[in-house]
Amino acid sequence: MQLTAPTPPAATSRAEQLMQLEDQYGAHNYHPLPVVLSRGEGVHLWDVDGRRYYDFLSAYSAVNQGHCHPRIIGALTEQAQRLTLTSRAFFNDRLGPAEKQLCELFGYDKALLMNSGAEAVETALKLARKWGYQEKGIAPNQARILVAEHNFHGRTTGIISFSTDPDSTGGFGPYNPGYQVVPYNDLATLEEAIKDHQVCAFLVEPIQGEAGVMVPAVGYLAQAAALCQAHNVLFIADEIQTGLGRTGKLLACDHEAVHADILILGKALSGGVLPVSAVLADDRIMLTIQPGQHGSTFGGNPLACAVLQAALDVLLDEELAANAARLGQVFRERMWQVQARRPDVIELVRGKGLLNAVVIRPAADGRTAWDLCVSLLARGVLAKPTHGDIIRFAPPLVITAEQLHEACDVIAEVMIGF
């Protein structure tokens, strides 16, 4: 007998109709808040009914430059009318200048452009292995890469092979070998593991965003990088979420003057306009990969390159990293004031720059961080919980002090009344 899907109930509003369409025809791999967005500008988003919200997620830090920044959109539309894609079978007039800007800004010999952040991570892993075999002399197929516990670097089958999140790994095995998980922010364990000659790299997020904005102890990154150098191991910094001004510096590693052997960028590299990511390294690493050994049809396309350059220009010209440093401290101070009044609601406030998290205590009546985010939504502030009890707050870096305080007033009122 052939089964037919039940007829869904009739939706009563345009928003409900659109949410119902996604539910009916889209994969159920996300659990979004019940709001349907249709327009964005700066730090604000509007839903299909015209209600305005403060965006305190920034598409997981992809929209550091604000929604639809006119300079980035201008670069997009101008390039889109000229040339969008050639593939890397030919040279184009936008890739070289974009690579040059990236390399000069971050201090590397070479840049390799991809699309998504996960693609960039996979690229870095391949580079590290190739370097390990070709330059370090690791025996074929024996290279190992150290990763941090509670990491999040993407959800490809390769990347989840070293994830410790059961939601990412459950039901997707078998997993790829060649990885060793070490505790985050634990130098002693890292030092012991890194002594093995077969270790070619240590991959780490300077701040673990998806894990709940876990900020390591001061000196951890610098000492970890020093251990890598001492044992001829590559230090790979995944700055896809923490980079490009989010933490109050151009890179989160800059807080400890760490220059990674391999740097991974994504998200805000396009200001949230289209997928573009980059892996940066010096010649001794990058040139281990030769033609035919790695690539992407869309990687380094002219449209992405034009957008990338405009996004970097905005980041620097508008001094967004400095704004993140200044207003991030303001945000944490406002949240600490709320915590002082409602320690039964807020367990902890942590972060750096405008990448912050508030840990919510379980409520006696069973309400959770999700319920708090729904209440914030009703009051015009968009944020999303992670790991059940943590709310990540990360507005676009173009936010002003006045806008931040206005949003903090709402957050404070909701949390005090929770």
Q: What is the C-alpha to C-alpha distance for residues 91 and 71, in angstroms, rounded to an integer?
A: 25
Query: Which range among 39-43, 268-272, 386-390 shows the weakest confidence by mean pLDDT?
Result: 386-390
Q: What's residue 10's pLDDT?
A: 58
Token pair belonging to 58: 């920034």
For residue 174, say if its preceding peptide bond is cis, omega within 30 degrees of 0: yes
129 lies in the same domain as 108? yes
Residue 254 has pLDDT above 90, yes or no: yes
Q: Alpha helix (H) ranges present in 4-48?
A: 14-25
> Residue 366 — very low, low, confident or very high, per pLDDT cuts 50/70/90?
confident
Q: Is there a single domain that holds both residue 278 and residue 397?
A: no
Residue 349 inside a domain? The answer is yes
User: Which CATH number is 95's domain given?
Assistant: 3.40.640.10
Helical segments of 211-363, H only: 220-230, 283-286, 302-317, 320-341
43 and 192 housed in the same domain: no
Q: Which residues is 111 bridged to in the sheet?
A: 280
Q: Which of 256, 251, 192, 254 is nearest to 220 (CA)?
A: 256
Structure-token pair, residue 315: 């980041």
CB neighbours of residue 34 within 10 Å: 10
Q: What is the pLDDT averaged over residues 141-154?
A: 97
Q: What is the C-alpha separation between 231 and 363, in angstroms, rounded?
A: 48
- Give the residue-averaged pLDDT of 290-310: 97
Q: Decide if 391 contacts 318 (C-beta within 8 A).
A: no
* Catalytic status, residue 267: yes
pLDDT above 90 for 12: no
Structural domains of the chain, count: 2
Is position 401 within any domain?
Answer: yes
Residue 257, token pair as written in the block: 């003057």
- Residues 20, 26: Cα–Cα separation, whole Å: 10
CA pair distance 311, 224, nearest whole angstrom: 31
Are 85 and 284 contacting, i.e. CB atoms less than 8 angstroms apart? no
What gap in Å lies between CA 60 and CA 62, rounded to an integer? 6
Question: Is residue 307 in some structural domain?
Answer: yes
Verify that 32 and 118 share a domain, yes or no: no
Catalytic residue among 130, 267, 352, 384: 267
44, 76: one domain: no
Cβ atoms within 10 A of the Cβ of 50, count? 8
Angle subtended by helix axes 95-106 and 302-317, to nearest 10: 30
**pLDDT greater than 70 at residue 25:** yes
Boundary-marking domain end, from 288, 317, 346: 317
**Mean pLDDT, residues 395-418 taken together:** 97
212 and 296 in a common domain:
yes
- Cα separation, 225 vs 395, in Å, equals 30
9 — pLDDT class (breaks 50, 70, 90): low
Tokens coding 248? 């109050």
Q: Out of 55, 56, 130, 152, pick the active-site residue.
A: 152
The arithmetic mean of pLDDT across residues 204-215, rounded, is 97
3-state secondary structure 71-90: HHHHHHHHHHCCCCCCCCCC
4 occurs within a structural domain: no
- What is the helix (H) or strand (E) element at residue 386, kind and residue range? strand 384-386
Question: Is-catalytic flag, 152?
Answer: yes
Based on the fold, state whether residues 152 and 216 are members of the same structural domain.
yes
CA distance 163 to 151: 6
**Assigned domain for 148 exists:** yes
Based on the fold, state whether residues 220 and 93 are members of the same structural domain.
Answer: yes
Torsion of CA 313, 318, 322, 327, to 10 degrees: -130
Q: Are residues 150 and 286 in the same domain?
A: yes
* Structural domain containing residue 203: 70-317
**Which residue among the candidates 47, 56, 162, 238 is catalytic per the annotation?**
238
- Do 246 and 156 have their domain in common? yes
Q: Do the Cβ atoms of 69 and 314 come closer than 8 Å? A: yes
In a domain, 386, yes or no: yes
- 196 an active-site residue? no
Instruction: Judge if 140 and 286 occupy the same domain.
Output: yes
We report the CATH number of the domain holding residue 350 as 3.90.1150.10
Where among 281, 299, 317 does a domain terminate? 317
Mean confidence (pLDDT) of the chain: 96
Quote the radius of gyration of the chain (alpha carbons, Å).
Answer: 22
- Interval 56-110: pLDDT, tens: 999 999 999 999 999 999 999 999 999 999 999 999 999 999 999 999 999 999 9
Q: Give the residue from 294, 317, 340 where a domain finishes.
A: 317
139 domain residue, yes or no: yes
The pLDDT of residue 22 is: 96
Q: Say if 3 falls within a structural domain.
A: no
Check whether residue 329 and residue 309 sit in a common domain.
no
